[in-house]
């Protein structure tokens, strides 16, 4: 069916941001002794979060005119990226326990709206989403990923879009030009050179975003850079000295697209889209 439109929700990206918004008004009034919210306040924040998540999902389904939808969650244990690199996401704020305990209820309320949840045994949500988006795009289906995570931007194609619910905008090639000044297909190489402070992934020392964009716009890719005969010796040395680090960084940034999935598109068809 040509007018299929699958929306893939990066669930924890959506839920944790909504939680932060709901928690904010209570923070200044928190218990001064412990610095923590009281149990009743915490319950209130969770209830507000759940209600706001439902409203967000209803808005997204309507606005995106989705025929299929899935909320994708991270696995509970650290994924393969942590095993490859123990500094991955170091210092990242842990999910509040109360929110972690409420996830099942939030998944149930999503299900009541016809949206099933998917959690992997060992992969990050990003890899599951990338696998689904890639598979659907190959078959000519339209996919919109709902996330503020820039890691998805390397997947952009005529059939794959990324939508930021909070800023009400598509993160498209114009957005990438403004932010990184490269093409979406060059982003993995760009981040391999610059690293990513958010996820604590190191890049090549001495190559910042301006230099990385300039090099990629001129030469096209890291592979072409490594084979260039007219590159400044200082840059060539940096690439040569950091070859192993770059290989690791590139692996960490590359989203998997081949995870075996145990369901078909028809399994995640929205009830209103049934014919």
128 marked among binding-site residues: no
193 marked among binding-site residues: yes
Distance, in Å, from the CA atom of 96 to the CA atom of 93, rounded to the nearest integer, reads 9
Give the CA distances from residue 183 to residues 187, 227, 254, in Å, rounded to whole numbers and listed in that order.
7, 21, 16
219-225 CB contacts, 8 Å cutoff, 24+ apart:
220/186, 221/186, 221/189, 222/189, 222/192, 222/193, 222/246, 222/250
Contact 258, 131 (CB under 8 A): yes
Contact 123, 79 (CB under 8 A): yes
Helices (H) and strands (E) in the chain, counts: 11, 6
162 marked among binding-site residues: no
* CA quadruple 57, 261, 155, 85: dihedral sign: positive
207 marked among binding-site residues: yes
E-only strand ranges, the chain: 5-10, 68-73, 116-119, 142-146, 160-164, 169-170
108 marked among binding-site residues: no
Q: Where do we find the tokens 């319950």? A: 43
Contact 217, 181 (CB under 8 A): yes
Please report, in range form, the residues annotated as the binding site for Mg(2+).
Answer: 126
Please report, in range form, the residues annotated as the binding site.
Answer: 126, 193, 202, 204, 207
Please report, in range form, the residues annotated as the binding site for K(+).
Answer: 193, 202, 204, 207
């Amino acid at each position: 069916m040509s007018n299929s439109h699958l929306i893939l929700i990066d669930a924890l990206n959506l839920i944790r941001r909504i939680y932060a918004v709901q928690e904010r008004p209570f923070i200044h009034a928190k218990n001064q002794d412990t610095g923590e919210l009281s149990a009743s306040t915490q319950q209130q924040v969770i209830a507000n979060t759940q209600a706001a998540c439902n409203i967000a999902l209803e808005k997204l389904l309507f606005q995106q005119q989705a025929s299929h939808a899935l909320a994708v969650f991270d696995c509970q244990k650290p994924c393969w990226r942590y095993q490859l690199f123990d500094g991955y996401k170091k210092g990242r704020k842990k999910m509040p326990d109360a929110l972690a305990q409420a996830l099942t209820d939030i998944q149930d309320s999503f299900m009541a709206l016809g949206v099933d949840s998917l959690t992997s045994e060992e992969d990050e949500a990003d890899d599951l989403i990338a696998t689904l988006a890639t598979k659907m795009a190959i078959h000519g289906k339209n996919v919109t990923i709902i996330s503020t995570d820039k890691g998805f931007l390397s997947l952009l194609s005529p059939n794959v879009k990324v939508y930021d619910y909070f800023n009400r905008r598509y993160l498209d090639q114009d957005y990438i030009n403004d932010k990184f000044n490269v093409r979406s297909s060059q982003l993995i190489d760009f981040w391999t050179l610059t690293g990513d402070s958010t996820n604590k992934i190191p890049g090549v020392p001495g190559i910042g975003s301006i230099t990385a964009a300039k090099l990629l716009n001129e030469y096209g890719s890291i592979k072409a850079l490594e084979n260039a005969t007219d590159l400044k010796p200082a840059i060539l040395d940096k690439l040569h000295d950091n070859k192993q680090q770059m290989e690791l960084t590139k692996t960490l940034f590359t989203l998997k697209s081949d995870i075996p999935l145990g369901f078909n598109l028809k399994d995640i068809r929205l009830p209103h889209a049934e014919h």
